[in-house]
Amino acid sequence: MRLPVALLAGAALTATHLAAALDWSGLQPLGDAQSVTRHERGVTLACADGSALTVTFLTPAIVRTRAQFAGQPAAPDHSWAVARTDWPAVTWQLAETADAVTLRSDVLEVRIQRSPLLVSFIDPATGRVINADARPAARDPQSGRIGVAKKLGLDEHFYGLGEKAARLDKRRGRFTMWTSDTPGYVEGTDPIYQSVPFYLGLEHGVAYGIFHDNAHRSTFEFGHLTQESVDYSVEGGELNAYFFAGPALKDVVSRFTELTGRMPLPPLWALGHQQSRYSYYPDTMVEQIVAQYRARDLPLDVIHLDIHYMAGYRVFTWDRARFPDPTGLTRRLAEQGVRVVTIVDPGVKHQPPAVGAHDAAIDRDLAPQDQSYYVYNEGLAADYFLRQRDGSHYIGEVWPGKSVFVDYTKEAARRWWGDLQHASLTARGVAGIWTDMNEPADFLDPTGRRHEHIVFDDLGRQSAYAGHRNLFALHMARATFEGLARHRPAERPFVITRAGYAGIQRYAVKWTGDNNATFASVALNIPMFASLGLSGQPFVGADVPGFIGRGSGELLARAYQVAAFAPFFRNHTAIDQYDKEPWRFGAHYEAIVRKYIQLRYRLLPYLYTTIEEAHRTGVPLWRPLILNFQADENTANLDDQFMIGDALLVAPVLREGERGREVYLPTGALWHDFWTGAPHRGGDMLRIDAPLDHLPIFVRAGSIVPSTVAMNHTGEKPWDPLRFDVWPDAGGEARGELYEDDGRTTAHRDGAFRRTQLSFTANRLTFAPEGAFAPPAREFEVAFRGVTAREVRLDGDVLPAAQWRQTADGVLLVRFADPGRACTVELR
């Protein structure tokens, strides 16, 4: 949500200043290790200065290091980010010498030099150091500031850190973790909305990850002003780090999400096209927009209501003049296959009731609120709002004016929030919740400096604001998600967030806030989405074609070519900006947009299969090329192309006026043009023509890609026919998968899904389904690329000629009814 214009310049200046390298003055290092105490999973080293370092194996490939510096008060061992604390036993060995203490599992060795105290992580198979301290970790006893320095590799690359307005490879960059409302950000603006203190390192084909689970304001410098070290500095809290061994980047991401949690499987409709603006009102306009979509043959699954649906911007209310019958509106839209998602901000209008005023007993969200606001009254009575050290309520200013904010660290407050959400929104047919302004934004001070006296309950510990600002959105998303799950236990929740901390993927999908309607912003989407995926957040997207600015038909077309592959696929714009629905720039551009929205719906079987993989493994749908081709050094910092899953490579045009571009196809694979089937050798740089209606897409040989026909919305009809494009590799083999379930409920958790493994080898395609889900009767259509046959058999029976044919462009098409069981298609 856009800030008042007067605040933009100051916020940008604050975000983009250049600071010096990490200042080590005043920091006192951990003392030399004197004694070692062995525990079940690791050791504690007592140091000469009274400090202590505990090293713990969670798994053979995940190691936690936690320090207590001399004079530092002991802190409870609790994390809001960590989802898993029960780990199976680990087999490991301990060795001690006069110089070092060494812990070793099957896949990782941790060597702790006693004097000075330095920690190194080593590959036990090769003896090669993966990551090592450059100097002992240190702390300033006066300020509580902590510093960590790691050796910087000559050819080391760095990825992750969640949402950063930066390129993919973070080497030589400096980044701050401090959730900030930053409308109109550009490349280099830092910090922005989200803070995830986790990064991945990669050198010589070996990857690792480090997560500093500390929500205080922190800074990472990846050789920013030094040739020697990667520096981490945090303004308070404790040194609590997790090391994740690779060697594959995918392994690191999977292990990080094993610790912090994985994205729940979203409803299928969440992958559909979504339309928004700040704001659509009244209800008749909302219906007119949907009617335009249907009349123009433009697929649409979701429409969003921004802050103007509320009565005076009061959360959990409806403006009855604009939306007299919200339940009727959501029902009429649902009949057309369109769901409603409403925005909910954390600021609750500070509104003491007028003398003698009372809240309505029923339908409180529909009642007038000008004399008494029921949400404020309830939260005040239950003591759910944040207080300051002196006991007064913190009062900020957002859209309703003076506002108070909920302390979501209180379990009762989270439950109350979820109950309000149900009574006023989901019980009236709202399908999902869009949480915004949750850095938390405050018009009086976007930097957060005036918030420093706020105190959070934090499980009764009464913790300072400094360690909780970065956690605020995580807590709000949790309250929102748990409320949806509690009141609609059979349905999958859908929550959107702007801000977040590590673990946010457990509760919400992520959109990248108030971006610009420019080609530079569209180009920035690619590394931002990739970095978020590498940081555990696979369901991401950006406002199309950009929230701030007018844009053009050309920008709209090119932005849709990128966004059609992003999990979160929403058109959105600011209140004071030109309309950007697909038809606003004329029929020529509308036709291009339609082509790529329909392509999105055709690819839903592949996208849904790949997003389920992300849910199950943590490996994202939207991938930088380096994630799939770690051995190809040419992909290490390549971030103007991306891959969707393992099979599809997309190389969009990202500059105005260009009608072609160079495309790099990674080595180690054969590639095919998605549109023509033309083969291309891996390792080559190609010049590809790309007129405005063309998006260069390539398929990795050896893939089987499922798809279906385009439709108006995801629930319009079953995937029928289900098409499988078989792209054999040089050895004549291909692999693929299809995941299916009912797309809406949580029954998949109990086995109500169907996962079909597809394998093509020796001219035989096998379908091997598993799971209890039974899809409706449908046809399979298989397109074999570059394959010919004189005869086609299904489970040994010859198929009649009417069920298969060879096309002029060399595709062998075979069609048959899904038998609902394992089967084999044989080509002879």
Residues that are catalytic = 436, 439, 514
What phi and psi values does residue 769 have, to the nearest 5 degrees? -85, 155
Continuous segment of H or E residues that includes residue 75: none
Spatial separation of the C-alpha atoms in residues 283 and 323, rounded to whole Å? 5
240 and 467 in contact (C-beta within 8 Å)? no
Spatial separation of the C-alpha atoms in residues 429 and 110, rounded to whole Å? 54
| Pairing verdict, β 274-275 and 570-572 | parallel
The amino acid at residue 632 is D
Spatial separation of the C-alpha atoms in residues 274 and 582, rounded to whole Å? 12
What is the 3 state secondary structure string of 491-559?
ECCCEEECCECCCHHHCCEEECCCCECCHHHHHHHHHHHHHHHHCCCCCEECEEECCECCCCHHHHHHH
Spatial separation of the C-alpha atoms in residues 389 and 392, rounded to whole Å? 7
Record the tokens describing residue 448, joined without a space: 């957060």
Record the tokens describing residue 526, joined without a space: 């690619």
Spatial separation of the C-alpha atoms in residues 770 and 821, rounded to whole Å? 9
DSSP conformational letter for 97:
-
Q: How many CA atoms lie within 13 A of 727 on its CB side?
A: 26
Residue 95, class by beta-carbon neighbours within 10 Å (0-12 exposed, 13-18 middle, 19+ buried)?
A: exposed
For 128, other C-beta atoms within 10 Å of its C-beta total 11
Tally: H helices and E strands in the chain: 12, 52
Question: E strands, 215-316, where?
Answer: 218-222, 229-234, 239-245, 274-275, 302-305
433 and 421 in contact (C-beta within 8 Å)? yes
Place of tokens 């385009």: 710
For 811, other C-beta atoms within 10 Å of its C-beta total 17
Nearest to 162, CA basis, from 497, 391, 589, 514: 497
Spatial separation of the C-alpha atoms in residues 271 and 275, rounded to whole Å? 12
Spatial separation of the C-alpha atoms in residues 749 and 780, rounded to whole Å? 26
| Pairing verdict, β 62-68 and 52-59 | antiparallel
DSSP conformational letter for 265:
P
Nearest to 548, CA basis, from 576, 524, 523, 571: 576
Beta-carbon contacts of 583 under 8 Å, excluding residues fewer than 6 positions away, are: 292, 296, 298, 590
Report in angstroms the alpha-carbon separations of 620 from 154, 209, 500, 584, 612.
28, 16, 18, 33, 10
Residue 828, classed as helix, strand or coil, is coil
Spatial separation of the C-alpha atoms in residues 649 and 671, rounded to whole Å? 9
Record the tokens describing residue 303, joined without a space: 């429409």
β-partners of residue 738 are: 756
Spatial separation of the C-alpha atoms in residues 484 and 693, rounded to whole Å? 40
Nearest to 189, CA basis, from 3, 17, 444: 17
Record the tokens describing residue 355, joined without a space: 């003398």
